[in-house]
Amino acid sequence: MAKKLAAEFLGTAMLLFVVVGTGLMVAPISPDYLTEEVTSVGAALQLFIEGASVSVGLAVIIIMFVTVSGAHYNPVVTMVNMIDRSMDAATGAAYIVTQFVGAAFGVVLANVTFNLDPIMISQTDRIGPAIRLSEAVATFLLIFTILALVRTGRAGAVPWAVGGIVFAIVLATPSTGFANPALTLARTLTDSYTGIAPASVAPFIGAEVIGGLVAVLLAAWLFPKPDEA
């Protein structure tokens, strides 16, 4: 169990380091903080670089630890495993706590790496019904991609498929596809391009959970296991 939790901590921390570190690196390209739409060529370039970095980084991080912990890095993914009865409640709870802690560590490390204060509470509001719907759709696409592959015996394709869908989600959704409650909460700790104001967190996480649950229901219907058919 200790190795599994260590892998979840490290993987989630690495993911958030890439997310926030990339955002800090590309921030000088444009003064715009992307919240709902691209308003300049600079903002578009920031978004493309962010999406490319995160998608490739996530695929590699999944490959790195998938044989140890299953490479969840996301409380919604863990929740789905608990609903699917492939993970017991105690293990799932430990995973989720570890993911939140690892995500916060990754953000703090990224801030410090760029010579900023370890914790900078974000002032970037991401509010409104459309952006919440965007988060639900983003999480649905992520979880449905994973379940479609796993339930049809193609789990080996998950790392790069997840990377690909994350890249598409970042570019296609007004919320830029957080799709991860641990990532969402942790990004309150950076007042930068990738940050989110604390007041925006609860609606985001609610939308993410709803999107994940819808994905579970649809995947169970379209790709039933033998005992579900």
Print pLDDT tens along the chain (229 aa): 999 999 999 999 999 999 999 999 988 887 665 555 666 787 788 889 999 999 999 999 999 999 999 999 999 999 999 998 889 999 999 999 999 999 999 999 999 999 999 999 999 888 889 999 999 999 999 999 999 999 999 999 999 999 999 999 999 998 889 999 999 999 999 998 899 999 999 999 999 999 999 999 999 999 987 666 5
**Residue located via tokens 């509001």:** 125
Listed by start position, the domains of the chain span 2-222
Residue 95, SS3 per DSSP: helix
Who contacts 181 (Cβ-Cβ below 8 Å, separation ≥6)?
A: 74, 75, 76, 100, 204, 205, 208, 209
| CA–CA distance, 203 with 175 (Å, rounded to integer) | 12
Q: Which helix (H) or strand (E) holds 200?
A: none
Give domain 2-222's CATH architecture: Up-down Bundle (1.20)
> In angstroms, rounded to a whole number, what is the distance separating the alpha carbons of residues 58 and 145?
15
pTM above 0.85, yes or no: yes
What is the secondary structure of 121-175 as a DSSP string?
Answer: -------SHHHHHHHHHHHHHHHHHHHHHHTTT-GGGHHHHHHHHHHHHHHH-TT
94, burial (CB in 10 Å: exposed 0-12, middle 13-18, buried 19+): middle
